[in-house]
Amino acid sequence: MGDVGLSCGKFQWQELLPALTPYFVMKVGRVPLIRYGLPGSTEVAGTVGQCIEAYANAGIGLHAVMLERLGPNVWHRSPAQAMAVLEELEETAKLYCWSHGRTAPLAPEQVQTLEDRFNIRWH
Protein backbone atom coordinates (compact mmCIF):
# COMPACT_ATOMS: atom_id res chain seq x y z
CA MET A 1 0.00 0.00 0.00
CA GLY A 2 1.63 3.21 -1.18
CA ASP A 3 -0.28 5.52 1.12
CA VAL A 4 0.67 3.71 4.34
CA GLY A 5 4.25 3.37 3.08
CA LEU A 6 4.46 7.14 2.65
CA SER A 7 3.28 7.65 6.21
CA CYS A 8 6.09 5.45 7.59
CA GLY A 9 8.99 7.62 6.47
CA LYS A 10 10.60 10.49 8.28
CA PHE A 11 8.48 13.38 7.11
CA GLN A 12 8.56 17.07 7.80
CA TRP A 13 5.37 17.95 5.96
CA GLN A 14 1.84 18.15 7.32
CA GLU A 15 0.01 16.51 4.43
CA LEU A 16 0.53 13.19 2.70
CA LEU A 17 0.81 14.42 -0.88
CA PRO A 18 0.88 17.65 -2.86
CA ALA A 19 -1.56 18.39 -5.69
CA LEU A 20 -0.12 15.82 -8.11
CA THR A 21 -3.04 15.13 -10.44
CA PRO A 22 -6.34 16.83 -11.25
CA TYR A 23 -8.32 13.86 -9.93
CA PHE A 24 -6.42 13.86 -6.65
CA VAL A 25 -7.29 17.53 -6.19
CA MET A 26 -10.91 17.04 -7.25
CA LYS A 27 -11.78 13.70 -5.63
CA VAL A 28 -9.51 13.45 -2.61
CA GLY A 29 -8.33 16.92 -1.69
CA ARG A 30 -5.89 17.54 1.11
CA VAL A 31 -4.87 14.61 3.31
CA PRO A 32 -3.39 15.74 6.62
CA LEU A 33 -0.96 13.43 8.37
CA ILE A 34 -1.88 12.49 11.92
CA ARG A 35 1.10 11.51 14.06
CA TYR A 36 1.28 7.94 15.30
CA GLY A 37 -0.81 6.89 18.24
CA LEU A 38 -2.02 3.61 19.62
CA PRO A 39 -4.63 2.12 17.27
CA GLY A 40 -8.11 2.95 18.50
CA SER A 41 -6.92 5.45 21.08
CA THR A 42 -9.11 8.36 22.08
CA GLU A 43 -6.08 10.65 21.69
CA VAL A 44 -5.82 9.84 17.98
CA ALA A 45 -9.58 10.31 17.56
CA GLY A 46 -9.34 13.68 19.29
CA THR A 47 -6.44 14.74 17.08
CA VAL A 48 -8.41 13.77 13.96
CA GLY A 49 -11.38 15.81 15.18
CA GLN A 50 -9.18 18.83 15.87
CA CYS A 51 -7.60 18.52 12.42
CA ILE A 52 -10.97 18.36 10.66
CA GLU A 53 -12.13 21.42 12.61
CA ALA A 54 -8.96 23.41 11.82
CA TYR A 55 -9.30 22.74 8.09
CA ALA A 56 -13.02 23.56 8.18
CA ASN A 57 -12.22 26.86 9.89
CA ALA A 58 -9.87 27.60 6.98
CA GLY A 59 -12.70 26.84 4.53
CA ILE A 60 -11.22 23.52 3.42
CA GLY A 61 -13.34 20.40 3.68
CA LEU A 62 -11.62 17.07 4.14
CA HIS A 63 -12.48 13.59 2.90
CA ALA A 64 -9.45 11.82 4.35
CA VAL A 65 -6.70 11.85 6.92
CA MET A 66 -3.67 9.58 7.04
CA LEU A 67 -2.81 7.99 10.34
CA GLU A 68 0.96 7.56 10.51
CA ARG A 69 1.87 3.86 10.18
CA LEU A 70 -1.78 2.85 10.40
CA GLY A 71 -3.44 3.95 7.18
CA PRO A 72 -6.08 6.22 5.76
CA ASN A 73 -9.42 7.15 7.21
CA VAL A 74 -11.81 8.32 4.50
CA TRP A 75 -15.41 9.50 4.45
CA HIS A 76 -17.91 11.07 2.08
CA ARG A 77 -21.65 11.37 1.52
CA SER A 78 -21.98 7.69 0.54
CA PRO A 79 -19.92 4.53 0.86
CA ALA A 80 -19.34 4.54 -2.90
CA GLN A 81 -17.96 8.09 -2.83
CA ALA A 82 -15.75 7.22 0.15
CA MET A 83 -14.43 4.22 -1.78
CA ALA A 84 -13.63 6.48 -4.75
CA VAL A 85 -11.65 8.75 -2.40
CA LEU A 86 -9.73 5.77 -1.05
CA GLU A 87 -8.99 4.41 -4.53
CA GLU A 88 -7.73 7.76 -5.86
CA LEU A 89 -5.65 8.31 -2.73
CA GLU A 90 -3.98 4.91 -3.14
CA GLU A 91 -3.33 5.38 -6.86
CA THR A 92 -1.81 8.82 -6.35
CA ALA A 93 0.37 7.52 -3.52
CA LYS A 94 1.60 4.72 -5.82
CA LEU A 95 2.41 7.27 -8.52
CA TYR A 96 4.44 9.27 -6.03
CA CYS A 97 6.26 6.19 -4.72
CA TRP A 98 7.00 4.79 -8.19
CA SER A 99 8.50 8.11 -9.23
CA HIS A 100 10.60 8.18 -6.04
CA GLY A 101 9.00 11.51 -5.11
CA ARG A 102 10.05 13.19 -8.35
CA THR A 103 6.53 13.76 -9.66
CA ALA A 104 6.11 17.52 -9.94
CA PRO A 105 2.92 18.92 -8.44
CA LEU A 106 0.44 20.86 -10.51
CA ALA A 107 1.31 24.51 -10.95
CA PRO A 108 -0.65 26.94 -8.75
CA GLU A 109 -2.48 28.24 -11.84
CA GLN A 110 -3.57 24.71 -12.73
CA VAL A 111 -4.91 24.13 -9.22
CA GLN A 112 -6.70 27.49 -9.33
CA THR A 113 -8.37 26.53 -12.61
CA LEU A 114 -9.59 23.29 -11.03
CA GLU A 115 -10.92 25.19 -8.02
CA ASP A 116 -12.78 27.64 -10.24
CA ARG A 117 -14.13 25.07 -12.69
CA PHE A 118 -15.23 22.42 -10.19
CA ASN A 119 -16.11 24.61 -7.20
CA ILE A 120 -13.59 22.98 -4.88
CA ARG A 121 -11.09 24.45 -2.43
CA TRP A 122 -7.46 23.35 -2.31
CA HIS A 123 -5.66 26.55 -1.29
Total Cβ atoms within 10 A of residue 4 = 16
Rounded Cα distance between 123 and 120, Å, is: 9
Strand 71-74 and strand 64-67: the pairing is: antiparallel
- Dihedral sign for Cα 85, 60, 103, 37, please: negative
Report whether 106 contacts 20 (CB < 8 A): yes
Residues with a catalytic annotation lie at: 23
